[in-house]
Every structure is written in structure tokens, then in C-alpha cells.
């Protein structure tokens, strides 16, 4: 494989640094380099090439970035759980803000540092590997990196990890099995899906000082309770006081619903997961819950809140959101699919009036966005 020298410019949405080759036949070609930092001159080994873009592995750093720091985890670079431990947190925040601004083609209202640098994870998905290994998938591989300790795990998960590892070994789980662990206000739950695909043990994953939010390990929940507090606050600020009739789509187990019912006595919440809806009815009983999409209704909602998965909202959800009389609050974990859906909402008569990025998961390329659209 051939080598090249690259001047990196910025961090890209997938976590790689991106820059241009500076010498040779392909000088100027855009090249993506994992484990490089923005503003570096690096020597790389090209792994995949196209006429206008290439992908590479880092060989050496010829001129280090001022943003480069030493990664505290000895597994960083081999473990696929983190992408940016080698980048200082201020540069991470700037990169996430720039990623969102580029996707939405305009300035955003800021970036919220919603989690501590380390020790923020209340949930994790561990994978069983060969020979009894238990940990995270290796970078760009389906191999499992055995993880005896992880600096991203909160103190409760870190304390429970030896027992979880011992239980997984004792159960002789097959390679590839997933072990979900979730810390909450009443302890730590661990789950391996049973034959029916159910997840059983539940804990209260609510942020401090908020109504309970019971969910099993393995069901969707935000990465940590402190991060979730910042996300909930951003959503409620976007919804505003006295929102009128509210429809919430992709409501999950009721994370936002618990708070929306305190603002409105007319909240309809929907999710395609029947188990999540069953939990939502317990977590937010004042809402009217629906499995699957909420039908177009009369009167139309004043505000629609939606929190779709990474692939973005489906056509039915976007059509229902576009029926809102006043406002749409869109929570996204992928700025690119948010940008795509924003164009459709714009064609339906809505204008993007605000967007805030939240860094819920430091040391990774993940960024959450709360975007507000008004008719």
C-alpha cells in the first residue's frame, strides 16, 4: 500500500480527521485519517483510494496539533468505543458545533458541554468475544477488545463491571452475545436478551430531581442521567411554556413525555415499540399513548416533538409533524439526516429558527441536536 503526507483541517462527522494530501501525484486530494487531530501534518498509509478522496491509517505525526493530548486509556486506538481521546475537549466541542453548522448550512445557537470529560456513561452494550473476552468491538472490526476497565463508565457501572464479567463467563455465553448494563437511581441492571427477545431487569434512569423513568438495560435511554438533564432542558426550552396540544413521536419510554404533561393537559405520545409504550404508560400516565404512528387528528397539534433514530424520521412522521400549527421540536442524533428532514419541513412551510448542539458523549464523534422549526 502507498503512503502519503496529509495536512489535516478538521474533524469529520464519523470521527476521522479530514485534510488534503500535500505532495505527489494526488496532491490536494481529500483524505480521511482516523486518530489524527485537526491542524496536523501526518504521514499515512492509504487503505482505499478514489480519484477525489482517499482513506488512510495514521503512520506518524510529523507536526502535532495544539489540540492533541495524551489519551488516558491504554486501549484507545484499538478499542472502537472512542474516536477522540487524543483531542482536547475544547477542540471536540468546536468540532461538533462546526459539524452541525455545516449540516444545517448556517450558524447554530451554541454547543452545550452536557457531560463530564470522563466517567459519564450510565449504560453500555458489551459484546462477548472468543476465549471469554467481554468488552467493545475493535476499531473497524468485529473482533472484541477485552475491557476490564473503561474511563467512560460512570462509577456505578465501573464498580459493577467485574461482577458482570464473572457472570458472563459463568453463563458461558456464545461469542457475539450482547450484555447490556444500565445504572440507575436504584442500582445497576444487566440483561442478555431471552429467547423471546425481551429485556427484563429495570432501573430508574431519570435525571436527578425528575419524575421516575423506569427502563430495562438494553432499551433506549440516554447515555447518562446528567447528560439527559441537559437534553431535557433544551427540549423544554424549545417547546416553550403553554404549548397547547402536543404530539410526541418516537416517544420511547416517556423521557420527554414525563415533562411535557406538566406543560400541557393534551399530550399524545407514540412509539413503534410496544414495550416502550407499555413503560411510557407507567412513566407518564397523564399522556395518551399509541403504538405506532398517531393518526392525523382534528384539531391539529400546536406543537410536535420528535426524537427519531439515526436514520431520521419516516415519511408518516414528517407528514404529521408538518401538520403542527405553530412549532416542531426535532431531536436528532445525526446532523446529516436532520439536514435532510429539515429540507422537507422547509418545503412544507416551516423555517428553522434555532438549533443547539449538545455534547452528551465526550471522546466520541457523537453529537445531539435540538432543532426548532416554526411555521
Is residue 73 part of the annotated active site? The answer reads: no
* Residue 50 neighbours by CB under 8 Å, 6+ apart: none
Query: Are 239 and 329 a contacting pair, CB within 8 Å?
Result: yes
Question: 73, 82, 150, 333: which one is catalytic?
Answer: 333
Tell me the three state secondary structure of residue 138: strand
> Cβ-count burial of 95 within 10 angstroms (0-12 exposed, 13-18 middle, 19+ buried)?
buried
Please give the Cα distance from 61 to 77 (Å, whole number): 15
Handedness of CA 128, 134, 135, 141 (dihedral sign): negative
Q: What cell was used for 332?
A: 436528532
Tell me the three state secondary structure of residue 46: strand
Query: Are 329 and 303 a contacting pair, CB within 8 Å?
Result: yes
Please give the Cα distance from 243 to 263 (Å, whole number): 7
CA distances from 313 to 205, 332, 340 (A): 25, 9, 10
Q: Which of 54, 120, 51 is nearest to 81 (CA)?
A: 120
Please give the Cα distance from 338 to 372 (Å, whole number): 11
* Residue 131 neighbours by CB under 8 Å, 6+ apart: none
Q: What cell was used for 353?
A: 429558527
Look-up of cell digits 486530494? 29
Tell me the three state secondary structure of residue 103: helix
Q: What cell was used for 106?
A: 448556517
Please give the Cα distance from 235 to 262 (Å, whole number): 13
Q: Which of 162, 226, 154, 213 is nearest to 186 (CA)?
A: 213
Write out the catalytic residue numbers: 333
Amino acid at each position: 500500500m502507498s503512503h502519503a503526507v496529509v495536512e489535516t483541517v478538521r474533524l469529520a462527522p464519523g470521527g476521522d480527521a479530514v485534510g488534503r494530501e500535500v505532495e505527489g501525484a494526488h496532491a490536494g486530494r481529500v483524505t480521511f485519517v482516523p486518530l489524527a487531530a485537526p491542524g496536523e501534518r501526518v504521514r499515512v498509509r492509504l487503505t482505499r483510494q478514489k480519484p477525489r478522496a482517499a482513506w488512510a491509517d495514521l503512520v506518524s505525526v510529523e507536526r502535532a496539533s495544539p489540540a492533541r493530548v495524551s489519551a488516558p486509556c491504554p486501549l484507545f486506538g484499538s478499542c472502537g468505543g472512542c474516536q477522540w481521546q487524543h483531542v482536547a475537549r475544547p477542540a471536540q466541542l468546536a468540532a461538533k458545533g462546526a459539524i452541525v453548522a455545516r449540516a444545517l448550512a448556517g450558524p447554530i445557537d451554541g454547543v452545550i458541554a452536557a457531560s463530564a470529560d470522563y466517567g459519564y456513561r450510565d449504560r453500555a452494550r458489551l459484546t462477548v468475544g472468543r476465549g471469554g473476552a467481554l468488552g467493545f468491538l475493535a476499531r473497524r472490526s468485529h473482533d472484541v477488545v477485552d475491557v476490564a476497565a473503561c474511563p467512560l463508565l460512570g462509577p456505578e457501572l465501573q464498580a459493577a463491571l467485574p461482577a458482570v464479567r464473572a457472570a458472563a463467563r459463568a453463563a458461558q455465553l456464545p461469542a457475539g452475545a450482547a450484555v447490556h448494563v444500565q445504572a440507575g437511581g436504584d442500582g445497576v441492571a444487566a440483561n442478555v436478551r431471552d429467547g423471546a427477545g425481551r429485556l427484563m431487569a429495570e432501573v430508574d434512569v431519570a435525571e436527578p430531581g425528575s419524575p421516575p423513568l423506569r427502563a430495562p438495560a438494553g432499551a433506549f435511554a440516554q447515555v447518562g442521567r446528567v447528560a439527559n438533564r441537559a437534553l431535557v432542558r433544551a427540549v423544554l426550552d424549545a417547546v416553550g411554556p403553554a404549548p397547547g396540544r402536543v404530539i410526541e413521536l418516537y416517544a420511547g419510554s416517556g423521557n420527554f413525555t414525563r415533562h411535557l404533561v406538566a406543560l400541557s393537559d393534551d399530550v399524545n405520545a407514540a412509539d413503534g415499540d410496544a414495550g416502550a409504550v407499555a413503560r411510557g404508560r407507567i412513566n407518564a400516565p397523564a399522556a395518551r399513548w399509541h403504538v405506532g404512528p398517531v393518526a392525523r387528528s382534528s384539531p391539529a397539534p400546536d406543537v410536535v416533538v420528535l426524537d427519531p433514530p439515526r436514520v431520521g424520521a419516516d415519511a408518516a412522521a414528517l407528514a404529521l409533524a408538518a401538520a403542527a400549527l405553530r412549532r416542531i421540536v426535532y431531536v436528532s442524533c445525526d446532523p446529516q439526516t436532520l439536514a435532510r428532514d429539515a429540507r422537507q419541513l422547509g418545503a412544507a412551510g416551516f423555517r428553522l429558527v434555532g438549533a443547539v448542539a449538545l455534547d452528551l458523549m465526550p471522546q466520541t464523534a457523537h453529537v445531539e441536536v435540538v432543532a426548532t422549526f416554526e411555521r
